[in-house]
């Protein structure tokens, strides 16, 4: 009898919850710009970084999140000491928000010049071309199937030189300091030490390092950190490509500095508890030539800014693989 009363009470509570969500005070619309800010905050785990992604001030982001929580009548974020995390309701909302934004963007693109055609030249570092561009290019092609996008991959220094010569319409470059030119900040990429998940190269001394060619900031930061913290080291593998560097790491031959978002299966991040000091973060920016104002170039730039902004710094599946 007590069990029946309990089940009846649970049903009454559920019904009351549904009624409260459907009453006259419930929100009738979810503004797209607020949903975009919400997803950015959820992915970044911090209102400051979310503000950078949606190109607003931190105060504006906080106000938008407060408005959304007020509209839906539940807390979506749990405030922590150094950031925010999603509540249960926030996780439910995030799933719907992503789907709403995707449909909104597809619908908008489908009715705004779908017959636009031409060619756009895009330069991008190999790591971002591998991890981020496939989804971006697929979405752009679905909206503008007659626009040809030519992608050129390379190291940041060579990409910057090619961009300066006018060989690209758009290019993604990494910076060590805040850019002062035509750049738009896409994200801030933490640089981490990685080792093989099944080898112990990180325990060797001198520490074997796999690095990029001279002029790479990741290489410079790594060597400076080793010298500053008294880590005996030697450069044993050099490659201009991320694939080459990571092949040496996976084989257990060396430790390497890479962007956190590129850490994948078979790799393990080394932290201070492992005896490895933190490395700086790079600033990833999108550059568009000031004299290049074709609509298709601006549209691709908008796709890149939006999709990067919606992408978490570390993909959940990557994090799971990297820590397994």
pLDDT-based confidence at 324, cuts 50/70/90? very low
> Range of 91's domain?
2-110
Per-residue confidence band for 11, with pLDDT thresholds at 50, 70 and 90: low
Instruction: Give the model's pLDDT for residue 308.
Output: 72
Q: Which of 22-31, 130-139, 299-308 has the lowest mean pLDDT?
A: 22-31
User: How far is residue 41 from each of residues 35, 80, 184, 261, measured CA to CA in Å?
Assistant: 10, 13, 19, 17
- Beta 84-86 vs 207-211: how paired, if at all? unpaired
pLDDT tops 90 at residue 269: yes
End residue of a domain, out of 64, 82, 110:
110
Average of per-residue pLDDT across 153-164:
89
Q: Is 230 exposed, middle or buried (0-12, 13-18, 19+ CB in 10 A)?
A: exposed
Position 114 scores a pLDDT of: 64
| Mean pLDDT across the chain | 82
Domain boundary residue among 87, 110, 133?
Answer: 110
Which range is least confidently modeled, 21-25, 117-121, 167-171? 21-25
Task: State the Cα–Cα distance between residues 224 and 100, nearest whole angstrom.
Answer: 46
CATH classification of the domain holding 184 = 3.40.190.10
pLDDT of residue 81: 73
Q: What is the DSSP string of 210-270?
A: EE--TT-HHHHHHHHHHHHTT--EEEEEE-SSHHHHHHHHHTTS-BEEEEGGG--TTEEEE
DSSP-derived 3-state class of residue 206 = coil
Domain match, 13 and 67 both: yes
Whether residues 217 and 156 fall in one domain: no
Shared domain for 232 and 269, answered yes or no, is yes
Q: Give percent of the chain with pLDDT exceeding 90.
A: 39
Q: Is residue 238 located within the same domain as residue 297?
A: no
Q: Is the pLDDT of residue 106 over 60?
A: yes
Lookup: tokens for 49: 């970084």
Tell me: pLDDT of 317 over 80: no
Q: Say whether both 213 and 307 belong to one domain.
A: no
């Amino acid at each position: 009898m007590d069990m029946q009363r309990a089940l009846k009470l649970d049903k009454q509570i559920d019904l009351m919850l549904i009624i409260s969500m459907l009453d006259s005070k419930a929100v009738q619309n979810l503004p797209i710009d607020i949903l975009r800010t919400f997803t950015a905050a959820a992915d970044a785990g911090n209102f400051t970084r979310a503000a950078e992604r949606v190109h607003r001030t931190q105060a504006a982001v906080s106000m938008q999140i407060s408005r959304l929580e007020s509209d839906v009548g539940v807390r979506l974020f749990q405030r922590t000491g150094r950031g925010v995390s999603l509540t249960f309701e926030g996780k439910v909302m995030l799933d719907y928000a992503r789907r709403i934004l995707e449909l909104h963007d597809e619908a908008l693109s489908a009715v705004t010049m779908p017959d636009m055609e031409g060619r756009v030249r895009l330069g991008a570092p190999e790591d971002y071309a591998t991890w981020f561009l496939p989804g971006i290019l697929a979405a752009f092609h679905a909206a503008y199937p007659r626009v040809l996008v030519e992608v050129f991959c390379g190291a940041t220094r060579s990409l910057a030189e090619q961009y300066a010569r006018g060989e690209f319409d758009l290019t993604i470059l990494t910076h060590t300091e805040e850019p002062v030119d035509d750049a738009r900040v896409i994200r801030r990429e933490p640089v981490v030490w990685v080792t093989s998940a099944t080898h112990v190269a990180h325990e060797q001394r001198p520490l074997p390092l796999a690095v990029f060619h001279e002029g790479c900031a990741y290489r410079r930061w790594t060597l400076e950190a080793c010298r500053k913290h008294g880590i005996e080291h030697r450069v044993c593998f050099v490659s201009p490509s991320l694939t080459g560097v990571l092949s040496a790491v996976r084989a257990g031959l060396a430790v390497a500095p890479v962007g956190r978002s590129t850490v994948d299966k078979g790799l393990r991040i080394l932290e201070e508890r492992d005896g490895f000091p933190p490395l700086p973060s790079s600033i990833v920016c999108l550059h568009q030539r000031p004299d290049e104002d074709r609509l298709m170039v601006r549209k691709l730039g908008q796709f890149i800014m939006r999709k990067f902004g919606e992408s978490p710094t570390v993909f959940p599946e990557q994090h799971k693989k990297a820590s397994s």
